[in-house]
Every structure is written in structure tokens, then in C-alpha cells.
Structure 1
Amino acid sequence: MALTMAIIGFGKSANRYHIPYIKERDIKIKYIYNHRRHREKEQGFYDADTIFTDKLDQVLNDSEVQLITICTPPATHFEYGKLVLEHGKNVLIEKPFVANQGEAKELFALAQSKKLLAMPYQNRRFDSDYLTLKKVIELGYVGKPLSLESHFDKYRPDDRLHEGSQVDGQFYGLGVHMLDQILGLFGKPQTVSYDIRAIQNSASTVDDFYETQLFYDNFKATVVSNPLAARPYPRFLLHGTNGTYVKYDIDQQENDLKLGIMPGDLNFGIDTPSQFGVVKYKNQNGDWIEKQIPTINGDYGRVYDSIAKTLTNRDAKLVSDEQALWNMEILEAGITEKGPHLYNLK
């Protein structure tokens, strides 16, 4: 039976990261709620049966709707998430999930009390580069991991003054994904160090740079985003007891989506061989081997596949409540104290 859902919000997030993937699946978008109707954008929508509305009650009170995805500004996530759950609907919330641990705990408790699903949208668990990194670790190419660097850099000069809440910065906006990838692979760290700044205009209250280190037993993961990186740093650099894996360049899904190349189109999101990662390791004979690792295809729609399995088969959620709360704890601790600092997880 097809999953019937609705989307709250009809901006870039909904149109780039959700709808193109949903339409490739056995999922019916019955409603799209937007308090500001953009009728010119609604014309020619892929499913003529989708109802565009500015009446939220129409969506919340429809018994056919099983899942609602929230694609609105971060400040609205908690309010909408709570409203959806109170009306007996499962909810998927775009990043960042909510502003703090307290809000996250309240939503998870409400969902559990109603036997509903509440989950952050962590689509980057299905980045091609991340899926390939996971496979390299699983196959044991580098032995026991000792250190991992995860970079999401660009060169985008902007020295204007940016004012706003710290939850509107790069750390909450992108760091939430990069941290989730580490937590999904290695679990809860013991200690976290932070360097979160506005490097292009120090008077800005919204950060544009972060370097966060997660410390485990004899392992460290570093996540970095720098807006002024004119030369590329590896997307992933993994060192282990038996070798090293290096991957340049990011997952190609977003680049293709920006060009209008959609899921289902030929070669969507595929790396070229020149973008493949390289592993250098010792084989059983003690010989050094160096070879390319073909990139595993990414697919953000697999988030919805996982939700369908959770709702129909009671499979475990893709992102557990525990992982989401670790993420919120790390994010919150990063912005509550200014300047470089350490934080020990509870």
C-alpha cells in the first residue's frame, strides 16, 4: 500500500531534496501546505492530484495522511513538529531538527506516547562519498581506524555583516549532517573540542567556519567547513593501522539537482573515475597495494524507504532518538560558549 503524506513548506528544501526523490517511489503527496501560495510554481506539478493549500487544518485533520515532512525555517520546526504529532501524524523534520535538546526530548516523548515516528531528515547518510567510506571501513582496508577528517569546504567570499541567532549559522546548518555521519559510524564520543567562528566578518553573530573534533578511545574524528578554501582538501581522509583512504570531491546529487538532472535520469549523481577515492594498504603478504575504490551511488530517497520500512515492518529508525539527542547535545554545547573550548558528553 502506498504511503500517503504531506509536506509543510514549498521552498528549495522541498523542491530539491524531497520531492524529486519522493516521485520515484510509491508515495503519494496528497497535500503541500504553504502559507504563501506561489501558484505559478504550483502549475505543472508532477502529480496533478496533489492539493496545494494554505489551510493547515485541512492537512492535519485528513485521516489518510500518515506522514508529514516539515521543510520550513528552523525556528518553526519545534512548533510544527509538535502540532503534527498532536494530530496523530508521523513527522520527518528538515535540518536542524530543533534548536536544543529540550525541544528534541519533548518531541520524542510525545511521539513515543502516541506510537508515532519523529525523526530528523539526515539525507547525507546516503551521500555517495559517505556510503563508500563506510564500505572501506567495513572491508577492513585500513585496519583499525585511528583518525578521520571530514571536510565540506568551498570558496565563497562574503564579508558582509550577518546578524541572527547562532542556530542559523553554518555549524547548525551543515555541521548537523557532518556530525550525524560520524555518530552513525562510531557512536557517542567522550569529549568534543570546538572552534566555531565568523571568519569573514568577526562582527557577525552567525558563524561561517567550524572545526569540531570528536574524541573516542584511541580514535579522533574531525569535521571542518571553511568558506575560504581556494584549493580542495580531501572530502574524507582516513588513517588506520593498516593504511590510508583518501576521497576528494563531494557527492554529486546536489550538483546534478541544481542543473535540473533528476533522480531516475541517466547517470544522475554518479562520480567519474577521476573522482574515485584511493586506498593504500598492506596485503597479507606485507606488500603495499594502492587502488581506486569506485564510488557507491548515493540516493537521498532512501530516507523515505527507511521510513516506509519502519512504519510497515517496525524496522528500527534510520536515525535513532539516541543519536539525534547526541547530535543536539554536541551542537548546543558548541554555541553556548564562545571561543575554542572542550565539552565532555554526559
Structure 2
Amino acid sequence: MAIIGFGKSANRYHIPYIKERDIKIKYIYNHRRHPDKEKGFYDSKTIFTDDLNQVLKDPEVQLVTICTPPSTHFKYGKEVLKNGKNVLIEKPFVADQKEAKELFALANEKHLLAMPYQNRRFDGDCLTLKKVIDLGYIGKPLLLESHFDKYRPDTDLHEGLQVDGQFYGLGVHMLDQILGLFGKPQTVSYDIRAIQNPDSTVDDYYETQLLYNNFKATVVSNPLAARPYPRFLLHGTNGSYVKYDIDQQENDLKLGIMPGDEHFGIDTPNQFGIVKYKNQNGDWIEKQIPTVNGDYGRVYDSIIATLENGAPKLVSDDEALWNMEILEAGIAEKGMHVFHM
């Protein structure tokens, strides 16, 4: 494979997981070479280059991951597909549905894979939420709140495009988790704002409600939450589940603790989620649910399964397009959007 871009995204969310797998990074393309950063790379056989054609014309390269600024995703994605390579694109996938549909059409025409990098499907907290639902602890889900809050004051004026805001940057992941678990919503309503500096053209707060048949999921990111809100709060017909704190992979990666290291990404017992439910005798039971270990590298496992064994893509074209539709409508309407079923 090859990677386009050599910044934080490539070095934190991709390379540490790839090196744990039977995948060879033959090239890293960076149009602005930084030889000092290339020294000591884990694989001395990896070629650092500022010649994209060297990457795209190499018949050995089967997969290219794009880890560049969002405004370049469509351009690079199209070029990679035209040259017969499968492509994985960091979030947000592209700017809009039109670009996404063009990439998917080109990929399908050439029998290639094109997919957004939705690594947060493999957050430990999201995997544990799925386990709680699948085991039937809370019965039929009725209400779900998903929060990714922090306290990070910033009153500076921020100007940019829609892809530069919090909704596109983080909301794309939170929405994908809901779409992966529950599918396509019927309607979506929005509250998207710049709450720290109202003159900013880039949002820093969003609350989005996805409405299904007798079920509602709300995703929220607030930059001024001084006290923690549950990461997930789920109510159902037979009980409730609450989980505080986020997946620990990112915290460990920031400290230099890597996949393969002992205890990497493991949640602490005091942060395990709590489920309260009625058993078959009608008695209330309350217990901890140990957090399932997250692993962003499973995105690459899924790609290998698709390319070598024909398994369905981890993120289907439909799911990616639903996500883009919600993002676009949120920025354009900031009201309510009805999906065509």
C-alpha cells in the first residue's frame, strides 16, 4: 500500500495500526518532504517520495490511504482510482454527495474499493454499546444520547468552509456510529452554531437528532462542558445503560503507547459502563459492563477481507452517502431534514 500525506493523521491513526498487520507500506507521498521526520521510520524499506506518479504507476501498490486536508480528498481520490488503485480516505470523505457519488461510480466501474476511514466504529465505547444492545439488556432501544464534549475555551474568530467546522470534522464520526448501528433515519433535526464567537463562520457546537420509528438518537459536541456528560446514555423498554469517558486509544497514542504494547487502549474499571435492567423474575439488576477493547486497525482488517474474500465493505456506499446528506443538510438548513425512504 501507499499513504498520501505524512502528518498527524497518518502517524497517529494509521501507521501504528498498519505496522501490526501483514501490510507493507511501500510509499509515503508528501509533496513537502521533511527528511528529519522520515528518519527512524519503523520500516527502512518504505520509500518517501514527492513524486505522486511513482506511487500511482507502481503495479505492486493495491491500496492508497489519503491523509491530507479535506479540500484535497476528492482530487487525490479520483486520481488514485483512475490509476487502478483501491482508496481509503480520511474524514470527512469529500465535500458533498456529488463528489462522493462520482468517486463511488468510478470505483464501481473499475471494480475497486473506495471508502471513508470511519475508525470510530472501533471505539471501545461504541463496540460496548453494540454489545449491550445485541445482548438485549435494555430491551428495545428508545432513546440514545451520544456526547463528545470538552472544555476548551476559544473566543477567537474562526473563518473557513463547512468542512473546517466541528460538525464535519467530528460529527461525521458520531453520525457514522449511529448509522452503522441503526441504519437510515426518517428525519434529522439540527442545532449547529458557533457558540464561543458568534461571528465565526465555522461551527464549534452541534446537536443533531436522528429520528426513527419510535427511536431517537441525539449526537452532541459542546466545547464548553466543564463537567463530563455520559459518552453514551441509552434508555430502552427494559432498562438503561450509561457510559462515561471516551475510548482510550487516542490518549495512549498521544503518550507514545502504541498498538501491541501491553495494556494499550484498555479502559479502567472505574470507567466501565453501568447497565440497569429487569431480569426474567422482574428484579432490578445493576452491573458493570467491561469495555470491549477498541482497535482502529480493524478498518484495515475489513479492507483485506473485502479485497481478498469479497466481504461487504465496512462502510457501505449508502451509509457514506446518508452521512454526507445529513452533514450537507445540517449546514444548509439548520432546521429539519426529511429523508426519502
Name the CA distance, whole Å, in 1 between partners of 2:20 and 2:310: 23
Name the CA distance, whole Å, in 2 between partners of 1:52 and 1:206: 34
Please tell me whether residue 113 in structure 1 is matched to residue 113 in structure 2: no
How is 1:154-303 mapped onto 2 (pairs within 5 angstroms)? 154-303=150-299
Q: Deviations over 1:146-168 (max 9, x none)?
A: 01000000000000000010211
3-state SS, counterpart of residue 315 of structure 2: coil
Name the CA distance, whole Å, in 2 between partners of 1:124 and 1:150: 13
Q: Deviations over 1:293-341 (max 9, x none)?
A: 000000000000000000000000000001000000000000113xx41
3-state SS, counterpart of residue 32 of structure 1: strand
Name the CA distance, whole Å, in 2 between partners of 1:159 and 1:166: 19
Name the CA distance, whole Å, in 1 between partners of 2:114 and 2:244: 34
In structure 1, the residue matched to 2:34 is 38
The one-letter amino acid paired with 1:50 is: T
Name the CA distance, whole Å, in 1 between partners of 2:160 and 2:171: 17
The one-letter amino acid paired with 2:181 is: L
Question: 96, 103, 115: which one pairs with 2:99?
Answer: 103
Question: Cα offset for 1:211?
Answer: 0.1
Question: 313, 324, 329: which one pairs with 1:333?
Answer: 329
Name the CA distance, whole Å, in 1 between partners of 2:205 and 2:255: 27
In structure 2, the residue matched to 1:66 is 62
In structure 1, the residue matched to 2:337 is 343
Name the CA distance, whole Å, in 1 between partners of 2:336 and 2:111: 37
In structure 1, the residue matched to 2:19 is 23
Question: Cα offset for 1:84?
Answer: 0.2
Name the CA distance, whole Å, in 1 between partners of 2:100 and 2:143: 30
3-state SS, counterpart of residue 196 of structure 1: strand
Question: 127, 133, 136: which one pairs with 2:129?
Answer: 133
Question: Cα offset for 1:345?
Answer: 1.1
Question: Cα offset for 1:120?
Answer: 0.1
Q: Deviations over 1:56-87 (max 9, x none)?
A: 00000000000000000000000000000000
Aligned-residue identity in percent: 84
The one-letter amino acid paired with 2:311 is: D
The one-letter amino acid paired with 1:176 is: V
3-state SS, counterpart of residue 26 of structure 2: strand
3-state SS, counterpart of residue 29 of structure 1: coil
In structure 1, the residue matched to 2:309 is 313
Name the CA distance, whole Å, in 2 between partners of 1:38 and 1:234: 41
* TM-score normalized with structure 1 length: 0.98
Name the CA distance, whole Å, in 2 between partners of 1:103 and 1:35: 23
The one-letter amino acid paired with 1:58 is: Q
Name the CA distance, whole Å, in 2 between partners of 1:269 and 1:7: 24
Name the CA distance, whole Å, in 1 between partners of 2:54 and 2:133: 47
Name the CA distance, whole Å, in 1 between partners of 2:162 and 2:108: 30
In structure 2, the residue matched to 1:11 is 7
The one-letter amino acid paired with 2:106 is: L
The one-letter amino acid paired with 1:265 is: D
The one-letter amino acid paired with 2:266 is: I
**Where do 5+ consecutive residues of structure 1 fail to align?**
none
Name the CA distance, whole Å, in 2 between partners of 1:157 and 1:238: 29
The one-letter amino acid paired with 2:222 is: N
The size of the alignment, in residue pairs, is 340
The one-letter amino acid paired with 2:123 is: D
Please tell me whether residue 324 in structure 1 is matched to residue 320 in structure 2: yes
Name the CA distance, whole Å, in 1 between partners of 2:212 and 2:93: 25
The CA RMSD measured in Å over matched residues stands at 0.4
In structure 2, the residue matched to 1:148 is 144
Question: Cα offset for 1:240?
Answer: 0.0
**Where do 5+ consecutive residues of structure 2 fail to align?**
none
